[in-house]
């Protein structure tokens, strides 16, 4: 429940952040570099660091269950996270000119903000891994929720001070993850006990497949605004921000799904761990029915009420058909994510990585090959890629259940913590 509450707070903060940003900067076009930075950060950081968080949580939980201290594991993961952060940071610096031109209107301060923000998520995800591995879910929720809250606070301060340049708002995004980490660290919630030395295999058991799957999954859920930024003509930059509003509105069921899922998954995981497959199937069916109901309501609500909400809250215009297609794609992504987690619980890490990879390739091909107007190109890509993921995971789950695979405690923990959607 604390994790669910943290997710809801983070989700609400996302909507308020863009609202405050637009009021401060004055227009959708002026806000576009900030929305691109925000989306790029949440496409990149969770994709790279979520697997590190998962493996840390799994290894710590395993040691905790056997009465062994996890500090050596934590030291290994800090080294691993630092290496990954360094590799990607070098890539950002090397591609800085292209990134600045494509996404940030040649503003190098925002490239710096992307670099700082990415590095700042290294301790954030490690902190979350420590918290979940030790069952300290309130600390986990604080790290997750404070990120969004600090973004809002910083942006409000800048807006009240009359700041109208995008750089400071970008830096507010970059440093937002750190206060929550410092808070839980100061309260002693990131401590780990001494124990026997850890081998690299203890913290990299499924890292490769988790990393591939996570990069594609996190990239896919944030691909819409990034693709729209790249494909937009110079006089269409304001449309990118409008499209981001639509993506956020379409994600409301996804926010709620992950919040509910945080409470429901432990029961499913206990059933899987006890190899009670019939009960596991029944619980999974109930979860999918809940997701399906949310999908139908979300799509209908986006079509009927979405344009009014966008106009009233953001003072922008989007058609009901655009919002409905975005909501349908988000709904199918929800279903795909639920099945992917079930496949991971049944030790199908490789199949999940392949499924998300196929979905990512589908998005690229559909968006590239069709010649519809800007919004429709990206909408169709999102819809097709989510559908590909759903089909791939449905086949993988059917295969795993037929082969009678017995879940392990490690695979169950990987499934519980596999939430590539950030806000």
Pick the closest to residue 210 from 94, 329, 84 (CA basis): 84
Average pLDDT value for the chain: 85
CA 222 from chain center: how many Å? 8
DSSP of 11-74: HHHHHHHHHHHHHHH-SHHHHHHHHHHHHHHHHHHHHHHHHHHHHHHHHHHHHHHTT---HHHH
DSSP of 173-204: HHHTHHHHHHHHHHTTTT-----S---HHHH-
Residues 6+ apart with CB under 8 A from 180: 124, 127, 142, 143, 144, 145, 146, 147, 150
Cβ-in-10-Å burial (0-12, 13-18, 19+) of 394 comes to middle
**pLDDT, tens digit (0-9, with 9 covering 90-100), for 36-72:** 898 888 888 888 898 898 888 888 887 887 888 889 9
82 in helix, strand or coil? helix
User: For residue 364, what is the DSSP state?
Assistant: H
Confidence of residue 268 (pLDDT cuts 50, 70, 90): low
Pick the closest to residue 175 from 318, 37, 9 (CA basis): 37
Determine the Cα angle at 342 with ends 340 and 348, to 5°: 70
**pLDDT, tens digit (0-9, with 9 covering 90-100), for 346-371:** 888 899 999 999 999 999 999 988 88
Domain ranges of the chain: 1-193, 206-423
Interatomic CA distance for residues 176 and 15, integer angstroms:
16
Diameter over CA atoms, the chain: 62
pLDDT at 301: 86
Dihedral sign, Cα of residue 350, residue 352, residue 358, residue 360: negative
pLDDT above 90 for 254: no
Interatomic CA distance for residues 102 and 95, integer angstroms:
11
Q: Is 419 left (phi over 0), alpha (psi -120 to 50) or beta?
A: beta
**pLDDT, tens digit (0-9, with 9 covering 90-100), for 140-175:** 889 988 988 898 888 889 988 888 889 999 998 899
**pLDDT, tens digit (0-9, with 9 covering 90-100), for 182-205:** 999 999 999 988 888 888 888 887
pLDDT at 201: 84
353 in helix, strand or coil? helix
Interatomic CA distance for residues 212 and 333, integer angstroms:
17
Residue 235: both structure tokens together:
């006089």
pLDDT at 117: 92
**pLDDT, tens digit (0-9, with 9 covering 90-100), for 230-240:** 888 877 777 88
Confidence of residue 80 (pLDDT cuts 50, 70, 90): very high
What mean pLDDT do residues 385-409 have? 87
User: Quick count: other Cβ atoms within 10 Å of Cβ 96?
Assistant: 16
User: For residue 216, what is the DSSP state?
Assistant: H
Please report, for residues 27, 78, 144, 203, the alpha-carbon distance to residue 127 in angstroms, rounded to integers and kept in the order given: 37, 10, 10, 15
Report whether 228 contacts 28 (CB < 8 A): no
Report whether 387 contacts 31 (CB < 8 A): no
Confidence of residue 259 (pLDDT cuts 50, 70, 90): low
């Amino acid at each position: 429940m604390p994790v669910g509450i943290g997710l809801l707070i983070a989700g609400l903060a996302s909507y308020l952040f863009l609202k405050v940003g637009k009021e401060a900067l004055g227009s959708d076009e002026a806000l576009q570099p900030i929305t691109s930075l925000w989306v790029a950060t949440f496409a990149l950081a969770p994709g790279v660091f979520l697997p590190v968080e998962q493996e840390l949580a799994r290894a710590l939980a395993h040691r905790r269950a056997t009465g062994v201290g996890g500090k050596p594991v934590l030291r290994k993961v800090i080294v691993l996270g630092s290496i990954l952060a360094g590799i990607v940071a070098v890539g950002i610096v090397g591609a800085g000119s292209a990134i600045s031109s494509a996404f940030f209107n040649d503003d190098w301060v925002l490239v710096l903000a992307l670099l700082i923000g990415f590095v700042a998520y290294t301790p954030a995800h490690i902190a979350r891994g420590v918290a979940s591995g030790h069952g300290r879910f309130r600390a986990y929720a604080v790290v997750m929720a404070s990120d969004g809250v600090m973004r809002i606070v910083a942006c409000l301060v800048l807006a009240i001070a009359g700041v109208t340049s995008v750089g400071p708002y970008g830096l507010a995004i970059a440093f937002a993850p750190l206060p929550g980490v410092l808070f839980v660290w100061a309260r002693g919630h990131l401590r780990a006990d001494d124990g026997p030395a850890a081998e690299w295999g203890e913290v990299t058991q499924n890292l490769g497949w988790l990393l591939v799957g996570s990069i594609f999954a996190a990239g896919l859920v944030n691909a819409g605004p990034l693709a729209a930024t790249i494909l937009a003509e110079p006089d269409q930059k304001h449309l990118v921000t409008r499209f981001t509003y639509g993506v956020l509105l379409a994600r409301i069921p996804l926010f709620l799904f992950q919040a509910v899922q945080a409470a429901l998954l432990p029961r499913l995981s206990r059933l899987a761990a006890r190899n009670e497959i019939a009960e596991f199937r029944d619980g999974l069916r109930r979860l999918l029915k809940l997701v399906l109901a949310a999908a139908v309501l979300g799509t209908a609500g986006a079509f009927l009420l979405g344009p009014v909400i966008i106009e009233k809250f953001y003072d922008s215009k989007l058609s009901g058909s655009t919002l409905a297609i975005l909501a349908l794609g988000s709904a199918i992504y929800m279903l795909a994510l639920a099945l992917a987690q079930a496949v991971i619980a049944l030790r199908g890490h490789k199949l999940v990585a392949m499924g998300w990879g196929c979905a990512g390739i589908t998005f690229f091909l559909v968006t590239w090959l069709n010649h519809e107007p800007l919004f429709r190109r990206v909408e169709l890509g999102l819809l097709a890629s989510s559908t590909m993921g759903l089909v791939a995971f449905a086949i993988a789950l059917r295969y795993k259940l037929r082969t009678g695979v017995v879940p392990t405690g490690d695979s169950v923990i990987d499934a519980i913590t596999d939430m590539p959607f950030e806000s």
